[in-house]
Amino acid sequence: MKVLNSTAEVCNGIDLFELETRMGADRERVATLLEEVGALLKTMGSSSAAVEARDSD
């Protein structure tokens, strides 16, 4: 989650006119990518918690 938050902070610090040049994608694509990464991290977190719970039994 720290990676996602850090990336969002970087994107928030860039003026909109610079975003495409610096990120290599338009705002819509970057937003979609951040959502996809967030969903993946959430899935990984829940999978990790399930494994930890199973292993602790």
Q: What is the pLDDT of residue 15?
A: 75
> Considering the chain, what is the average pLDDT of its residues?
75
Instruction: Domain count for the chain, please give it.
Output: 1
Q: Helix 2-13 to helix 27-56 angle, to the nearest 10 degrees?
A: 160
Q: What is the DSSP string of 1-57?
A: -HHHHHHHHHHHHS-HHHHHHHHSS-HHHHHHHHHHHHHHHHHHHHHHHHHHHHHH-
Question: Are the CB atoms for 4 and 41 separated by under 8 Å?
Answer: yes
Average pLDDT over residues 40-57: 74
Q: 15 or 37: which carries more pLDDT confidence?
A: 37
- How does pLDDT run across 21-41, given as a tens digit for each residue? 877 888 888 889 888 988 998
Range of the domain at 35: 2-56
